[in-house]
A and B are shown apart, each in its own frame.
Chain A
Amino acid sequence: GAVVSQHPSRVICKSGTSVKIECRSLDFQATTMFWYRQFPKQSLMLMATSNEGSKATYEQGVEKDKFLINHASLTLSTLTVTSAHPEDSSFYICSAIRANTEAFFGQGTRLTVV
C-alpha cells in the first residue's frame, strides 16, 4: 500500500529555535498534502493544505509566518515551526492524497519545546 513517511518522529528543541518536519510520499506523487495538529484526547485539527509549486492554504487561526510550509516537489512537503514556544508542543501529522481519493498519513512528529 501507499506509504507516507514523516521525519523526525520525535524532536525536542529549545524555546526560540526553529524545527523542520518532513513529509514524504514514498510510492506516489502527491500534489496536495495536509498538515494536522493533534492535541491529547482531541481530534486532528487541520492546520494547512500544502500545494505543490504554490503557496500553502492556511486554516483560520493558524499563523502562516509561524508555521512555514514548503511543497517543493511532488513527494515532499515540509513544515517549519519557527521561533518555537512551549505552547507549540504537540503532535503534528501530515497526510497525502493519492489519486484524489484516499488519504495516507505519516506516523506523526511529537514536538516538545523546552
Chain B
Amino acid sequence: AQSVSQHNHHVILSEAASLELGCNYSYGGTVNLFWYVQYPGQHLQLLLKYFSGDPLVKGIKGFEAEFIKSKFSFNLRKPSVQWSDTAEYFCAVNAKGNNRLAFGKGNQVVVIP
C-alpha cells in the first residue's frame, strides 16, 4: 500500500513570501499525484494533479508542483502567497488503476497580512 509523508505541519509566513510544501510517497509502481486544499470551513478542493507527461504541473491560484520520480516527491510551490492562501494543504497519491487515495497529514499554512 502507498503512504504519503508531509513535513512541517504548521507553516507561518508573510504575504508575498514564497511557499514550498514537501510531499514524499512510498510506492513502487506508477502513481497519480494530487494536491488538495481545504480553506477554513470549506470542503477539500483540488489544486492540481499529475497523471503523466510534463512533470511540472500548474494548478489553480498560481500553484505549481513538480513530480520528481527518482525522489518519489511531488512538492507544491507558490512564488508569492496571499492572505487568502491560508488553508490546509493535503498531498494525496493513488496507484494507477486504483481509485483509493492515500493522504498525507496535511500542512496548516497561515499567511500573515
Query: What range describes how many residues of A lie at the interface?
Result: 20 to 34
Q: Is the CB of A44 within 8 A of B43?
A: no
Contact with A along B19-45 (1 / 0, CB 8 A): 000000000000000101000001111
Q: Is the CB of A44 within 8 A of B9?
A: no
Given known A43-B105, A44-B103, contact A102–B49 (CB-CB < 8 A): yes
In the complex the two chains form, what is the Cα distance from A107 to B42 in whole Å?
A: 6
Is B101 part of the binding interface, using a Cβ–Cβ cutoff of 8 Å? yes
Q: Number of residues in B with C-beta < 8 Å to the partner?
A: 21
In the complex the two chains form, what is the Cα distance from A108 to B34 in whole Å?
A: 19
Q: Is the CB of A93 within 8 A of B44?
A: yes
Which of A34, A43, A46, A97 has the largest number of chain B CB atoms within 10 A? A43
Q: Is the CB of B99 within 8 A of A32?
A: yes
Output the nearest chain A residue to B106 by Cβ-Cβ distance.
A43
Q: Is the CB of A97 within 8 A of B9?
A: no
Which of A4, A44, A49, A105 has the largest number of chain B CB atoms within 10 A? A44
Q: Which residues does chain A contribute within 8 Å of B45, judged by CB atoms?
A: 105
Q: Is the CB of A43 within 8 A of B49?
A: no
In the complex the two chains form, what is the Cα distance from A103 to B44 in whole Å?
A: 10
